[in-house]
Amino acid sequence: MRYAVLGGGKRVRPLLAFAAGEAAAKEPVLADPERLEIAACAVECIHAYSLVHDDLPCMDNDVLRRGKPTCHVEFDEATALLAGDSLQALAFQLLAEHRLCDEPQAQLEMMRILAAACGSRGMAGGQAIDLASVGQPLTLAELEHMHIHKTGALIRASVALGARCANALSPEQLARLDHYANCVGLAYQVVDDVLDQESSTATLGKTAGKDAASHKPTYVSVIGLARAKALAGELREQAQTALSSLGAGARRLSDLADFIVLRKF
């Protein structure tokens, strides 16, 4: 579990949770950094568990992650399976045993959001669609549907949990944040596909060109490199627009949208 979750990574989901907490904070309702830290840890535990399971031989069968052997290569498959299972449980334990917001009922809602984002109507369902899509000619809409679940659901949950630690936004403002999260979630995947095509294994810290080699549809294979890059730029614009009414507190969310689209790894 330590190897999987403490072994580096960009920490995009925790950063989004912290940034959303900052965007949602209003004097005198500041998002407590200790609360945000718990939410950030929970989403990163879920992300780490999903990578460990995703890398297993029966899934993507990958041997390299963050420049190091994947968990089942470093240990063994059974240990990787159980470490992933335990990281999922740990995420919910963290959210249940620490105070995250003033109202326990709102905290239950945060737990519901994360659980729904992880399950068959969220991340795990997206991975199932991903597996079923190998060798299939997907439309852009079908590809988007897959990624909204596979990557997007947890990114949306990261923003939603961070914002709810502050508990100062109106439903309408929360909806705008959610739209922002949707856009950066999709942009993240579009850029991943572009980098997978254009970058080296050394730069990425994971096996480059893997999706193409395993006949998985990607944004590059479905709409081409140029349109994929343009789409990432459009999603970045949309994300920034969604933040416009949230004021100066949303600066870090804005920076993160730029980072997600402009990153080189």
Place of tokens 């490199």: 225
**Three-state secondary structure along 7-39?**
CCCCCHHHHHHHHHHHHHCECCECCCHHHHHHH
Please select the residue that binds a copy of itself; options are 14, 84, 152, 249, rule is CB under 8 A.
84
Q: Which of residues 35-54 bind a copy of itself (CB under 8 A)?
A: 49, 53
- Residue 259 binds to a copy of itself (criterion: CB under 8 A): no
Return the number of the residue (103 or 258) whose C-beta is nearest a copy of itself: 103
E strand or H helix at 65: strand 64-65
Q: Among 34, 77, 102, 258, which residue sits at the site for a copy of itself (rule: CB under 8 A)?
A: 77
Is 135 among the residues that bind a copy of itself (CB under 8 A)?
A: no
Eight-state DSSP code of residue 244 = G
In sequence order, what are the residues at sequence separation of 6 or more whose Cβ sits closer than 8 angstroms to the Cβ of residue 148? Answer: 126, 182, 185, 186
CA 193 to chain centre: 15
Task: Note whether 261 and 235 are within 8 A (CB).
Answer: yes
Q: Which of 67, 119, 224, 247 binds a copy of itself (CB under 8 A)?
A: 119
**Contact between 109 and a copy of itself per CB under 8 A:** yes
**Residues in contact with a copy of itself by the rule CB under 8 A:** 1, 49, 53, 56, 58-59, 76-79, 81-82, 84-86, 88-90, 92-93, 95-97, 103-105, 107-109, 111-112, 114-116, 118-120, 122, 124-125, 127-128, 131
